[in-house]
Structure 1
Amino acid sequence: MIYRFRVILDNDTDEAVFRDLEIREEDTLEDLHNVITQSFGFDGTEMASFYISDAQWNQGEEISLFDLSDDGSARLMNETRINDVAHEASPKLIYVYDFLSMWTFYVELAEIVEEAEGFDYPNLMFVQGQVPDAAPEKSFEAESDDDDSDEIEDGLDVDDYEHLDFDENWN
């Protein structure tokens, strides 16, 4: 079977930037990583991870390109088949490329179809929008409550070193 994915760049512009891709269900997440990077014009040399996602796009288990864990327990893209993590019951993944720039993509399984005779897979079906020169800025702010009673006002000026209890030139 062939999985058709829509891969949407998370950006703050009005222009939608996405790619529609086809790939075999038994291919690995590393194969999907390769077609995503190629279709968006990246060289594919940066660290990347997929995250299993729920219906609200909450980030779940990480599946990484390389094992950077201390104990070698990381789940890897080249060992994970696409149909093991994406299917009709759980069609959403989050893909992050280049952890310094944090290119973030929403990957959603659009449909599952029969393999067409004479087609090569993976296949780039459709391109919409231009990829910006730099990754969109991310705002990592905590959710705020309406109750501000937890805020602490300490009155310290972080630029005023004279009143602090340490030597700013300690080294």
Structure 2
Amino acid sequence: MALYRFRVTFEDYDDVVREIDIKSNQTFQDLHYAIHQSTGYKPDYPSSFYISNDQWIKGEEITFMPNQRRVDRGVSLMEKVKLSSFIDDPHQKFYYTFNFDRPFDFHVELMKIILDESPSATYPQVVKTVGEAPKQFGNVFNPTVLPPTSEEFDFLNEMEYNPEDAEDFSEVNEHGEAVEEEEEEVGEEEDEFGDEFSDNEGFEDDDRRGGSKDDY
């Protein structure tokens, strides 16, 4: 019985590689289980192989645990389709999507055909493992729950108010105006006018004195 050696790689993780030997008369479902024996994933999730070309373009679908839409379309089932039915190229390629709800995509490529199987071996058989497969369901997100906070805003506490700083606040009247500053401004204005009047008085005295001199 001929053996197929497939090279299996994650589409998004090039450094993770598996090589699997499987009999030509075994099914796509056997290959499906062998892949997840090598990744450590639980295999019982809806998945599909697609016959593809060298550019990994999806063609005919072969499915596992199909939904009703696939059943209605008459998509072939993995458990009923032998691998040899779709090996038309010595480097045949299959695009493989595992778990449609939280998918991982794989490239599955036929590397070589081995004519003599080992009588003591059990197939499928993982013959090469490179790299660690990513976690099946990724990292679990545990949000941090913050304690409830009061909606009230304590102005004095937020501003780090100190009673000793009360001297820095000016007294205000009912209109919110600073009383002391206003009085000081008024006083300054009076001083200015007072200075002007004092200068004028001096000027009048000079005129009087000057007039008396002229009369004299």
TM-score (norm 2): 0.58
Is this contact kept in 2: 1:28–1:80, CA < 8 A? Answer: yes
Corresponding residue for residue 127 of structure 2: 125
Q: Give the distance between the partners of 2:126 and 2:15, measured in 1 at CA.
A: 17
Deviation at 1:66, TM superposition (A): 2.6
Deviation at residue 134 of structure 1 after TM alignment:
5.3
Aligned residue for 2:78?
Answer: 77
Is the 2:50–2:58 Cα contact (8 Å) retained in structure 1?
yes
The CA deviation at 1:28 is: 0.4
SS of match in other structure, 1:56? coil
Q: Distance in 1 between matches of 2:55 and 2:137?
A: 23
Tell me the matched-pair count: 134
- Residues in 1 aligned to 2:11 and 2:73: alpha-carbon distance in whole angstroms: 30
Q: CA contact under 8 A between 1:5 and 1:109: conserved in structure 2?
A: yes
**Higher share of residues assigned helix:** 2
Contact 1:87/1:109 (8 A) holds in 2: no
Equivalent residues in 2 for 1:110-149 (5 A)?
110-113=111-114, 114-133=116-135
Tell me the amino acid that sits aligned with residue 132 of structure 1. P
Is this contact kept in 1: 2:27–2:81, CA < 8 A? yes
| Counterpart position of 1:11 | 12
Paired with 2:89 and 2:137, the residues of 1 have a C-alpha distance of: 30
Corresponding residue SS for 2:85: helix
Q: Which amino acid aligns with 1:115?
A: E
Q: What residue is the counterpart of 1:33 in the other structure?
A: 32
Name the counterpart of 2:93.
92
Superposition RMSD on alpha carbons, in Å? 1.9
Following TM superposition, the consecutive aligned residue runs of length 4 or more in structure 1 with deviations greater than 3 angstroms are: none
1:101-134 deviations in whole A, cap 9, x for unaligned? 2100000000000212321111100000111225
TM-score by length of 1: 0.72
Query: Percent same amino acid among aligned pairs?
Result: 32
Cα distance in 1 between the residues matched to 2:73 and 2:57: 25
Q: Quick one: distance in 2 between partners of 1:44 and 1:57?
A: 23
Show structure 1 runs of 5+ residues with no match.
Answer: 137-171
What is the alpha-carbon distance in structure 2 between the residues aligned to residue 95 and residue 29 of structure 1? 11
Point out which structure has higher relative CO (alpha carbons under 8 A, 6+ apart): 1
Query: In 2, are the aligned partners of 1:67 and 1:75 still within 8 Å (CA)?
Result: no
Q: Which amino acid aligns with 1:112?
A: I
- The reply to whether residue 46 of structure 1 matches residue 45 of structure 2 is yes
Report Cα offsets for 1:51-90 as digits up to 9, x if no partner: 0001111111111013423526111101110011134356
Q: Which amino acid aligns with 2:61?
A: E
| 1:129 alignment partner AA | G
Q: C-alpha offsets along residues 120-167 of structure 1, whole Å, 9 cap, x if unaligned?
A: 11110000011122579xxxxxxxxxxxxxxxxxxxxxxxxxxxxxxx
- Structure 2 spans left out of the alignment, 5+ residues: 139-216
Amino acid at match of 2:19: D
Task: Name the structure with the higher strand share.
Answer: 1
Q: Which moved more, 1:77-86 or 1:27-36?
A: 77-86
Q: Whose Rg is larger? A: 2
